[in-house]
Chains A and B, each alone.
Chain A
Amino acid sequence: MYNGGKIIAGLIIFVGLFTFPIFYNMGKTSAMPEPKLDTPVIKQLVEKRCVESKEYMRANHMQLLDNWRDLVIREGNLVYESTGGKKYIMSLQNTCMHCHSNKKEFCDKCHNYANVKPYCWSCHIPPKENEI
């Protein structure tokens, strides 16, 4: 092999650089995101319950929203009666964000952590948040 030393040294450096992030982060855990639920509207709620149970929403909010958009736009529905019998208007921008008016502290917290980039906000207008 011509220039064997250089090639092998180069390979070692390359592998070292390439795997650096893995070794650097090994054994560390990044803090779990804690989405905030302390908006004024939520604080005033007597029963602090979302459209469905917390566990259901945590696991399935994306399916729920996806269903909602088809139910509203394609099938012409408006009102969602949840398992508890309460009625809600199916609207991300008006219903969800009415309570969760803190997109940065609520939606973005987990989405950033999980590195998912939903494109809701390229059309739907998020509520204005007070910049601190």
Chain B
Amino acid sequence: MSINRRKFLKIAGASALFGLTGASAIEELLTTNAEASVSPGPEALTAKRWAMVIDVSKIKTKEDYEKIIHACHSIHNVPDIGNKKDEVKWIWEEEYENTFPGVSDEFIPESIKHKPFLALCNHCAKPPCVRVCPTKATFKRPDGIVAMDYHRCIGCRFCMAACPFGARSFNWRDPRPFIKEKEENKEFPTRMKGVVEKCTFCSERLARGLKPACVEKSNGALVFGDLEDSNSEVRKVLSANYTIRRKPEIGSGPSVYYVIGGNEHA
């Protein structure tokens, strides 16, 4: 039996109609739970663009640094692997010349030259890591935080190559054995072997109305707030002090500012 022109057009028309509407109809049928609704927590801290100011002169002793770093790493189950090659870090100490390579002059005060600076993810305005991620596992939230969705990370490490600040760490090995059981935070997941991780500006704490862990433990050396709110704490610090950012010449627009403060002994 051969098909005639009229019949062919009928079938083609019907198929086209199904193709255009069928997909959405099937989707409609699959979502059975339309009544449930979701919302951010009532206490959630919100901002147009989160930012941090680090007053370097206020962090003095080795213990100060350790306290801040430990607060972050213990809350987020960051493993302490113990060798540089496999190291995983969210916030860490960095020497001046590596923190600000573009402005590392030779004759600056010794106290600054050899002072450790706290470094962390800069939550850039135009994050290069987000541009290169092939799975959108890392993405920019509307509030400026560069977030990670570990479920989607395939471990390609493009983001590590793209990040100008070395803020990303790869899990070369299963991190679980390197998290001390006593210090394990049971309310936060660990990561698995083969994903990249980094600082998240404590987005899980912001959702519950808490400031980032490092800020809380810093005795006022770290200030956190909304960059686009002219009355926010960060804006007040920024307008009262001269600040620098890491590698601004790259154009990624880092959201972490440093108050250098000058010579402590002056």
> When the two chains form their complex, are residues B147 and A123 in contact, meaning their CB atoms are under 8 A apart?
no
- The reply on B211 being an interface residue by CB < 8 A is no
- Nearest-CB residue, chain A, relative to B145: A76
Give A64 to B209 CA distance when docked, in angstroms.
25
Give A83 to B37 CA distance when docked, in angstroms.
8
Give A78 to B141 CA distance when docked, in angstroms.
15
Name the residue among A74, A90, A119, A122 with the largest chain B CB count within 10 angstroms: A122
Task: State whether A52 and B208 are in contact (beta carbons under 8 Å apart), knowing that A76-B141, A78-B44 are contacts in the complex.
Answer: no
Give A71 to B37 CA distance when docked, in angstroms.
11
> When the two chains form their complex, are residues B40 and A123 in contact, meaning their CB atoms are under 8 A apart?
no
Closest-CB distance, A111 to chain B (whole angstroms): 18
Closest-CB distance, B2 to chain A (whole angstroms): 46
Closest-CB distance, A122 to chain B (whole angstroms): 4
Name the residue among A73, A74, A90, A119 with the largest chain B CB count within 10 angstroms: A73
> When the two chains form their complex, are residues A122 and B41 in contact, meaning their CB atoms are under 8 A apart?
no
- The reply on A77 being an interface residue by CB < 8 A is yes
Interface residue tally on B, bucketed by range: 20 to 34
- The reply on B113 being an interface residue by CB < 8 A is no
Chain B residues lying within 8 Å of A82, measured Cβ to Cβ, are: 36
- The reply on B189 being an interface residue by CB < 8 A is yes
> When the two chains form their complex, are residues B149 and A74 in contact, meaning their CB atoms are under 8 A apart?
yes
- The reply on B96 being an interface residue by CB < 8 A is no
User: Among residues 130 to 160 in chain B, which have CB atoms less than 8 Å away from a CB atom of chain A?
Assistant: 139, 141-143, 147, 149-151
Task: State whether A77 and B184 are in contact (beta carbons under 8 Å apart), knowing that A93-B189, A122-B192, A124-B189 are contacts in the complex.
Answer: no
Closest-CB distance, A98 to chain B (whole angstroms): 10
Chain A 60-73, CB-CB to B under 8 Å as 1, else 0, gives 10001000010101
Name the residue among A79, A94, A127 with the largest chain B CB count within 10 angstroms: A79
> When the two chains form their complex, are residues A60 and B189 in contact, meaning their CB atoms are under 8 A apart?
no
> When the two chains form their complex, are residues B208 and A78 in contact, meaning their CB atoms are under 8 A apart?
yes
> When the two chains form their complex, are residues B40 and A79 in contact, meaning their CB atoms are under 8 A apart?
yes
Residues of A within 8 Å of B, CB-based: how many? 27
> When the two chains form their complex, are residues B39 and A81 in contact, meaning their CB atoms are under 8 A apart?
yes
Partner of B36, one of A69, A73, A81: A81
Chain A residues lying within 8 Å of B35, measured Cβ to Cβ, are: 83
> When the two chains form their complex, are residues A76 and B184 in contact, meaning their CB atoms are under 8 A apart?
no
> When the two chains form their complex, are residues A73 and B189 in contact, meaning their CB atoms are under 8 A apart?
no
Task: State whether A123 and B139 are in contact (beta carbons under 8 Å apart), knowing that A73-B147, A74-B149, A82-B36 are contacts in the complex.
Answer: no
Closest-CB distance, A53 to chain B (whole angstroms): 10
Give A76 to B149 CA distance when docked, in angstroms.
12
> When the two chains form their complex, are residues A125 and B186 in contact, meaning their CB atoms are under 8 A apart?
yes
Partner of B32, one of A60, A80, A93, A124: A60
> When the two chains form their complex, are residues B33 and A56 in contact, meaning their CB atoms are under 8 A apart?
yes
Give A71 to B207 CA distance when docked, in angstroms.
13
Chain B residues lying within 8 Å of A50, measured Cβ to Cβ, are: none
- The reply on B187 being an interface residue by CB < 8 A is yes
Chain A residues lying within 8 Å of B187, measured Cβ to Cβ, are: 93-94
Binding site for B on A (CB under 8 A): 52, 56, 60, 64, 69, 71, 73-83, 89-90, 93-94, 119, 122-125, 127
- 10 A-B pairs with the lowest CB-CB distances in the bound complex, closest first: A78-B41, A122-B192, A123-B189, A77-B38, A83-B35, A124-B189, A81-B37, A78-B207, A73-B149, A79-B39
Interchain residue pairs with CB less than 8 A apart (26):
A56-B33, A60-B33, A69-B149, A69-B151, A71-B38, A73-B149, A73-B151, A74-B139, A74-B149, A75-B38, A77-B38, A78-B41, A78-B208, A79-B38, A79-B40, A80-B38, A81-B36, A83-B36, A93-B186, A119-B192, A122-B192, A123-B150, A123-B190, A123-B191, A124-B189, A125-B184
